[in-house]
Each structure stands twice: as C-alpha cells, then as structure tokens.
Amino acid sequence: MKQVIEALREANVGDVRLNEPLSNHTTWKIGGPADLFIVPKNIEGLVESMNVLDANKIPWRAIGRGSNLLVADGGIEGAVIKLDKGLDELEIDGEEIRVGGGYPLIKLATVISREGLSGLEFAGGIPGSVGGAVFMNAGAHGSDISKILTKAKILFQNGRLEWLTNEELEFSYRTSRLQTEKGICVEAVFQLERGDQEVIKQELQKNKDYRRQSQPWNYPTCGSVFRNPLPHYAGQLIEKAGLKGHRIGGAQISDMHANFIVNVGNAKAQDVLALINHVKATIYEAFHVQMETEVEIIGRQ
C-alpha cells in the first residue's frame, strides 16, 4: 500500500488518506475505516487514481455524499474514492444542463428552479450527489433520474471514459447498469423543460416540506432502507407489523416513518443489519412478502 500511496501523491491526484473512518462520510454516521481514501481534485486526478489502483490491483468503490449507504464496522478493503469538490461543475445551456457527479442533488434542484427549468422538482429533499443519483436511479413523487437524463460520462475500472446514453444505462426502479458493471458517473446531462419559475419553486418547496414533515431528518439516517415491494409500500408493511420504534443497540426504526432506520446513539452497522434482518423475517412471516434493501450494504462484516 505504501507504494500505491507514493504513486498517488506523486501524481498529485488530490487528497489521499490512510485508514479514514467512513463514519465521517456517510449520512448514517456509521462505518469503519477505508484502507485508502482518495478525494480527487478533478477528473484528471480521478482518472489517474483509477490507473494507479488498476495497475496495483487495488479493489475500489466510489461514494458521493454517503447517503443510501451502510458501511460495515470492519470498514472497506482497498480504496474508497469520494467525488466532491473539483467534480461538481455545472453548465446550463438553454434547457440542457451538464453537471459533475460530485454536485449535491438538492442544491442542483434548487439552482435550476431559479432558472425556470422544470424536471428536477422531485429531487427536493433527496440527499446525495448526482453521481449517486444516476447509480441508483434516485426518484420520488412519481419521477426519477431516468425521466430526465440523456447521457452520462462513465469512468470504468480500466481508466476508460465513455458516454452512455439513457438506454445504455439500463435504468429500472432504483437500479442502473452501474450496479452490475463497475463504473463511476463523473458527469451527467439532463434535458429539462422551460416553465414558470414561481410554480417550479413552489413544487420543489412542497416536496422539501413533505420530506421534512414526514421523514426523520433530526437523526442521522440513510434515507429509505427498503425498496417498495410493489404493489405494497415498505413503510406501510413495517408499520402494520408493529415495528415502528423497534430498537437494537443504537439503531431504531423511526417513529415518524417506518422505512427509515435512525442512528439514535452511536449505532454500529451490526445494529442496523440486525434490524434489517428482523424486519425481513417479521414481514415475511406476517404477509409472505420478501423485503429487499434499497440501501447498499458494503464492507467487511
């Protein structure tokens, strides 16, 4: 690993750290250390980081703002690449916007609403970055990323940068091709529509207010834990099973919204996993419905 760190620092890729606690980089405030933690300063630094990691056969994964992510207490073997400053550029050209993978999604929705552009109102209150939103086809209020994305620039493991179209990203409910073929969304192009600025801002604010009033953002959380097992809704099933408020260690099923698990006091990943498994078993026994997680679970157990 020493040789890898030297190569990364010599290439001046950005911020490089050893044994960085990922609890500092997830919205749940949970997670053990990454063996190697890289925050590239720009796309060139990201590509060079990938080249060094690939040449040294170091496993890696990318994160954005750390929502929708549960990192195991044992941390992550290899490298974690965080998309942040330097990968957050924004260009607005008429009704088309081009935005970096590290750009915060809520901020993007707010900025473009002021431009009188419609299409991202659904993202009001969705935590995370643009890159993460493309990765998981983030959505709410009847819409999602696949409805507005035209193409995305993807960095693959071998250092190849390639533009993929909406169709090539193979979007479905909370899923994209990037979940099966390893790659990082470094840039996305969205096609929006011109609309009434005040109407757009009101719709965006309504969605933000709905989340603030119905979801427990007063505690560290990752967002929705389970996918909706359509035609059912995960939160409703969990509430019907009487699991609201159920707690294991420092992790608790929210009293406000049953599809949220909150960190009420120094929760460990093992506490959250135990709650997830308890929910799965209880819901299957009560309703014969298989629950699947929306949150991505990674790292050494």
pLDDT at 127: 82
Check pLDDT > 90 for residue 10.
yes
Which of 213, 233, 259 is at the close of a domain? 213
The reported pLDDT for the residue numbered 210 is 85
151-157 mean pLDDT: 93
State residue 215's pLDDT score: 87
Per-residue pLDDT at 243: 98
110 lies in the same domain as 185: yes
Q: How much is the pLDDT for 168? A: 97
Q: How confident is the model at residue 133 (pLDDT cuts 50, 70, 90)?
A: very high
State the pLDDT confidence band at 26, using cuts at 50, 70 and 90. very high
Mean pLDDT over 71-84 rounds to 96
225, 156: one domain:
no
pLDDT at residue number 211: 82
| pTM recorded for the entire structure | 0.89
Q: What is the DSSP string of 106-139?
A: HHHHHHHHHTTEES-GGGTT--SBHHHHHHHT-E
Report the pLDDT averaged over residues 42-65: 93
Pick from 37, 59, 82: which residue ends a domain?
82
Q: Do 300 and 32 form a contact (C-beta atoms < 8 A)?
A: yes
Q: How confident is the model at residue 84 (pLDDT cuts 50, 70, 90)?
A: very high
The pLDDT of residue 83 is: 94
Q: What CATH number is given to the structural domain containing 49?
A: 3.30.43.10
Domain-terminating residue out of 64, 82, 100 = 82
With 80 as the cut, is the pLDDT of residue 200 above it?
yes
**Same domain flag for 269 and 228:** yes
The pLDDT, as a whole number, for residue 275 is: 98
- Same domain? For 120 and 10 the reply is no
Per-residue pLDDT at 234 = 97
pLDDT exceeds 90 at position 214: no
Residue 220 sits in the same domain as residue 279: yes
Residue 226 and residue 208 in one domain: no
Domain range for 229 is 216-298
Residue 124 has what pLDDT? 84
Please indicate, yes or no, whether residues 77 and 145 belong to a single structural domain of this protein.
no
Buried b (16+ CB within 10 A) or exposed e, 84-101: bebbbeeeeeebebbbbb
Active-site residue numbers? 174, 224, 294
Which pLDDT score, from 0 to 100, does residue 140 have?
87
- Shared-domain flag, residues 285 and 201: no
What lies within 8 Å, CB to CB, of 79 at 6+ separation is 34, 35, 36, 37, 38, 49, 53, 58, 59, 60, 61
pLDDT grade, residue 97 (50/70/90)? very high
Lowest mean pLDDT among 109-113, 122-126, 240-244, 274-278: 122-126
List pLDDT tens digits, range 12-24: 999 999 999 999 9
Q: Are 267 and 30 in contact (CB under 8 A)?
A: yes
- The two three-digit tokens of residue 165, written as one number: 């179209």
* Residue 247 scores a pLDDT above 90: yes
Into how many domains does the chain fold? 3
- What pLDDT was estimated at residue 170? 96
Mean pLDDT computed over 116-120: 96
Q: Find the CATH number of the domain harbouring 235.
A: 3.90.78.10
For residue 53, give the nearest of 3, 100, 103 by alpha carbon: 3
% of the chain with per-residue pLDDT over 70 = 100
Cβ 62 vs Cβ 69: under 8 Å: no
Is residue 161 domain-shared with residue 235, that is, in the same domain? no
